[in-house]
Structure 1
């Protein structure tokens, strides 16, 4: 409320200064080649409200109602009406000043005050200057409002994307926990001595999920440790029927990536992979630098199961998440071979 009052006071003061300046402007011009200060003062004082009326009619009616609405024909028409009305009032002012101030003595009237066209030029010089400032200020305010609205829209879109990304992350957790709990359940039924070890490994994985997955970026080494922990958990379940190779030679350890980026690929490899010739074979290749990430995972599968592998919910979620995290900066290819399925991901890490 105080700010509103301050702005209103500031606006009123600026208008007062404007018209005081215009009054001195008229005094200066009409004083040319005359010593009749009384006439000049009265004539300038009478002309000032006429100028104010013309200016406010143009700035607060003609411009917003017609010019800014792109109704140019009506703007031109009503502008002509305003000019005619202003010319009539100026003529009345000239005649009245000549009669009542100079007492019908032409020699006592300043030369500049006898020319209707010159007076109209002076008035519309003020009108034009004020109108230009008004339009400039209007455009600036419009740009500011549009920018604020654009920022608000971007913030809303970002919030929606963050919510969608959070939703996609949460979809990973139930699938992962379902697989892990099934493994623990199976070993518990057998009363296996490995059950406590499996629970401990699951505890480590849950610790990573609960405390790291909410972060926007984690170190690549943390993500790699998480994958290896997951694979070691699956190794207990598959025993001698699992053959996993992880190639991680070309890795820049200081690289940062979004958490849980690769685990859906690994989960899919176990979920849709098949044991062939006594082994479920999985090969994972990492190549990570400061600006480029190359990831490739290959698993053995029967040919009939490849279509399910490609159209799984997990792969769709992966694509949606990549679209949110790396728009137009990633390439994901899935290739099917005889009894093999390969997923290759390339990401430009620089925005």
Structure 2
């Protein structure tokens, strides 16, 4: 019905209304003619009640309720409802009296035409009108709930699309930054004709494969992200030679856990970028483990001066990604001391 053609909707609506008013007509004949033998008189008299009933009901359904009650103009709704009932009562009484006069059968006075007096006839008509108003309110309330749900779903869908676009934008910021560093490293080795150049190209090829084919996925296996980190660390070790000391420990990794691709590499990039040579080397300690359906990631690098936690694109992006991907389910702590810069991350999985 919701997605039906407008013409079909009109036909179905017309058929429904027709059946309803036919039912109301038969209700009037039963209500007014119960105990009467003059069936023809009752049927004709019931027809006089239909115009007022139909006009008042549609006036409430298509004008007073949507324009005043639904818009919370309660004073106007009550006022116009009173006017409507007063005018409708006048027309209804005139219709009833006109029916009495027009249909009076002088030739057969022994037959009782109606079994209900004037107040009961008016009451019967207003029973129908009240029923229609109540059913109309129920339908309007139901349609309003459906409309609100549709608007809510559209709003949530729009929010989701915006978040997806923002995530893609953040990822695109990471890619050029990462590739720029890697290509600079290979370029330097190629000029020096170093023996490590083929191995570096192979490592970079693996990383490019990961970026091109895995990063567009919403999530990847944790082990794939770890392999990606190890390839990146290998490239950086070649670039820094003996000045980079990396200790990457992995404990009890859960092979079933999945995380968004390139979620951890910005922390590693930041450590290499802002690490300071102390006693001839940049020391970076990385520890990764999973326990109780949680991921724990710590990285610490040597430092001699204060570095803002938001330095560079990487950490800014990762904070935004974590807030969107794991709202209230992650803990990120950044410690910037005199000679150590440390990041601790905990992510809870459902």
Q: TM-score range by the shorter chain?
A: over 0.9
Q: Which residue of 1 aligns with 2:318?
A: 318
Q: Which residue of 1 aligns with 2:229?
A: 227
Equivalent-residue separation in structure 1 for 2:285 and 2:270 (angstroms): 13
Deviations 1:95-140 (A, max 9, x none): 223323225788655454432x222221111111111121211111
Q: Which residue of 1 aligns with 2:259?
A: 257
Size of the aligned set, in residue pairs, is 347
TM-score, normalisation: structure 1: 0.93
Q: Which residue of 1 aligns with 2:341?
A: 341
Q: Within the alignment, does 1:52 sit opposite 2:54 as a pair? A: yes
Equivalent-residue separation in structure 1 for 2:135 and 2:322 (angstroms): 49
Equivalent-residue separation in structure 2 for 1:255 and 1:232 (angstroms): 24
Q: Which residue of 2 aligns with 1:40?
A: 42
Q: Do 1:112 and 1:118's aligned partners in 2 also have CA atoms closer than 8 Å? A: no
Choose from 156, 160, 163 the match for 1:161: 163
Q: What is the deviation of 1:220?
A: 0.9
Unaligned runs of 5+ in 2: none
Secondary structure of residue in 2 paired with 1:307: coil
Q: Within the alignment, does 1:72 sit opposite 2:80 as a pair? A: no
Q: Which residue of 1 aligns with 2:330?
A: 330
Q: Which residue of 2 aligns with 1:17?
A: 19
Deviations 1:210-265 (A, max 9, x none): 11111111111111111111111111122222211111122112211111111111
Per mean C-alpha deviation after superposition, the further-off stretch among 90-99 and 332-341 is: 90-99
Choose from 108, 114, 117 the match for 1:114: 117
Deviations 1:242-296 (A, max 9, x none): 2111111221122111111111111111000011111211111111146211100
Equivalent-residue separation in structure 2 for 1:269 and 1:289 (angstroms): 25
Q: What is the deviation of 1:69?
A: 2.1
Distance 1:294 1:235, change over 3 A: same
Distance 1:310 1:165, change over 3 A: closer
Equivalent-residue separation in structure 1 for 2:255 and 2:93 (angstroms): 87
Distance 1:174 1:322, change over 3 A: same
Secondary structure of residue in 2 paired with 1:35: coil
TM-score, normalisation: structure 2: 0.93
Q: Do 2:61 and 2:136's aligned partners in 1 also have CA atoms closer than 8 Å? A: yes
Within 5 Å, give how 1:88-237 maps onto structure 2: 88-103=90-105, 108=111, 110=113, 112-115=115-118, 117-237=119-239
Secondary structure of residue in 1 paired with 2:5: helix
Distance 1:228 1:92, change over 3 A: same
Distance 1:21 1:308, change over 3 A: closer
